[in-house]
Amino acid sequence: MSAFTVRFQPEPSDAEIRAAEAAAHDLGARVTWQHATACKRMYGLVEGASPACISTLREATVATVYDRPVIALAVFPSVAEALPQLLRALGGPGRPDGVHACDRCEGGMIVEWDLDATPLDVIMNLIDIEIDRFHARRVNVLLNPLPLAWWTTIAASGLRAPEITPERVLEEQLEVQHVVG
């Protein structure tokens, strides 16, 4: 069983959401949704999915269905002149390997990438290098739900604590042991 990301752009109707949920549920998967209203998108994390679920959702919806989870991060630089440089660095021909999309949004950009292919530090360092050229600041907004394994990877990296793993997350263990859920 695996996880993958679904992106609706523009935001879907309630009927489209129900259809996507039903298709995933029929194949034994569950979907967690997150609205990115300011960016006119909606993301879903599909977990417990079989490979058939990906093709089923591609056929049943107008959504972009990735083969794996992605991180969707909106970045809003304080200096507008930094935006073209950010778009070029993260979306141009020399972009990091794991970047799937880099699009402009109102006042900023959205970068979508595979954390397993390109670590968070690489993306954040590239952003900082580009905005530092303009003495700018940034506001980041995470637009989508992430699998627990990615949350622990990000936490372990940021805290320099490799012992942080999904198996060490209390809430996950309570669910696995059927104490909650």
pLDDT tens by residue, 75-125: 999 999 999 999 999 999 999 999 999 999 999 999 999 999 999 999 999
User: What CATH number labels 2-65?
Assistant: 3.30.70.600
Domain residues of the chain, as ranges? 2-65, 71-142, 147-181
> Is the alpha carbon torsion for 114, 119, 122, 123 positive or negative?
positive
Using CA atoms, how far apart are residues 144 and 141, in angstroms rounded to an integer? 9
CB atoms within 10 A of CB 163: 9
Amino acid type, 76: F
Encoded tokens for 166: 């999904």
The CATH architecture to which 71-142 belongs is 2-Layer Sandwich (3.30)
Given this model, what pLDDT does residue 175 score? 75
Query: In DSSP terms, which residues pair with 31 in a beta bridge?
Result: 46
Residue 181 has pLDDT above 70, yes or no: no
- Domains 2-65 and 71-142 equal at CATH topology level: yes
CA dist 23 to 2, 26, 30, 123, 175, Å?
16, 5, 10, 33, 24
The label of the residue with tokens 């979508």 reads: 112
Q: How far is CA 170 from the centre of its chain?
A: 23
- Integer-rounded Cα radius of gyration of the chain: 17
Using CA atoms, how far apart are residues 128 and 149, in angstroms rounded to an integer? 25
Least confident window among 13-17, 59-63, 69-73, 168-172: 168-172
Given this model, what pLDDT does residue 15 score? 95
Least confident window among 6-10, 72-76, 153-157: 153-157
CB atoms within 10 A of CB 56: 19
Share of residues in the chain with pLDDT > 70 (%):
99
The angle subtended at Cα 158 by Cα 157 and Cα 164, nearest 5°, is 55
pLDDT tens digits along 130-167: 999 999 999 999 999 999 999 999 999 889 999 999 88
Closest residue by Cα to residue 25 from 55, 8, 46, 2: 46
